[in-house]
Amino acid sequence: MKKYMRVVLAALFALALGAFAQGDKVVIGYSISTLNNAFFVGMTKGVENGAKKFGVELITVNANGDSAKQVADVEDLITKGVDAIIINPRDAEAIAPAVKKALDAGIPVFALDRGVTGVEVTSFLETDNVAMGRLAADLIAEAMKAKYGEVKGNVIELVGLVGTTAARDRGKGFHEQLKKYPGLKLVASQPADFNQEKAFNVTSNLVLAHPDVDAIYGHNDDNTVGAARALKAMGRLKKVGDPGHIYIVGIDGIKQALDLIRQGYIDCTISQEPVLMGEKAVEFAVKYLKGEEVPKHFYTPFTPVTKDNVDKRQNWAE
């Protein structure tokens, strides 16, 4: 049995080496969940940069937020015989059978930002979403202590897209860390789907139900930008330092959030590095196809961006 497995693995490895061994141009399939999000636009730019840098052909397919379409897209890439697949899953479970099919066909798969449930991909590149969730809780606790002299306050959580590992882990880290601050009360937690319009509507309803809210945590900046718009429409958007200010923290580092930080309405975005993430995915794919080892799990860095440092660093979105 062991000998058989060695033969199978050797055959799959030979398939992966094929394009380089024959001198053919490497073709990478890139499946993005949606481009209706500045973060994913940045990540796609990184993938395109990497393709140019390493001289590979890129076939890009956009699922447009449709899990079924993404499954069909990946199956089409398999049929086309691409050398590797880079994927940002729309739904971690729905995409799993298609990803397994690619791996079984000897096509290495590199997951970006979001993982695949129950399938061990060739490499998973992401930011530490659990750690970012924990940091968001710490930042709220710090702000509430500065406001009240003790860590207390009412918090609303705008959850990301249910079914994604990013939303799951950002919530997990946040909830775990909140346990360290018994004075912080999570009064509401509701999906806003990483979407500004959904966040606008959800925030409007939740703030009406919980008018004494002190802080809002959004799983991404589209959630917090939508929240800020809702607060403005309700006459509740106040600048930092105003007694009526509601502390807002999100994740990603998109331009709209950076601008609202400069204006004093959003307090912090925990900025990821999507361009770097995309570039690294192509780098890892090329290395793997050449027979080099690549990390099974790779974390790109994150940085809290506030009014104090927003103009002192290179922001990926600007």
What does each C-alpha distance from 114 to 98, 129, 167, 254 come to in angstroms? Answer: 15, 10, 9, 18
CB-based contact 27:16 (threshold 8 Å)? no
Q: Mean pLDDT score of the chain, rounded to an integer?
A: 95
pLDDT of residue 20 exceeding 80, the answer is no
The CATH number of domain 129-271 is 3.40.640.10: no
Taking residues 85-107, report their average pLDDT.
98
pLDDT at 33 over 50: yes
Q: What is the model's pTM? A: 0.90
Q: Is the pLDDT of residue 12 over 90?
A: no
24 pLDDT band, cuts 50/70/90, is confident
Is the pLDDT confidence value at 98 over 70? Answer: yes
What is the C-alpha to C-alpha distance for residues 161 and 225, in angstroms, rounded to an integer?
Answer: 16
Q: What topology does CATH give the domain 2-126+274-300?
A: Rossmann fold (3.40.50)
Confidence of residue 127 (pLDDT cuts 50, 70, 90): very high
Q: What is the tens place of the pLDDT at every residue in 221-251?
A: 999 999 999 999 999 999 999 999 999 999 9
- Tell me the C-alpha distance between 145 and 162, whole Å: 31
Q: What's the token pair of residue 253?
A: 């580092």
pLDDT tens figures, 170-198:
999 999 999 999 999 999 999 999 999 99
* Residue 36 pLDDT greater than 50, yes or no: yes
CB atoms within 10 A of CB 190: 14
Domain ranges in the chain are 2-126+274-300, 129-271
Question: What is the pLDDT, as a whole number, of residue 8?
Answer: 45
Exposed, middle or buried, 82 (CB in 10 Å: 0-12/13-18/19+)?
A: buried
Instruction: Answer whether 71's CB lies under 8 Å from 97's CB.
Output: yes
Average pLDDT over residues 42-53: 98
Label residue 5 by pLDDT band (50, 70, 90). very low
Q: Do domains 2-126+274-300 and 129-271 have the same CATH topology?
A: yes
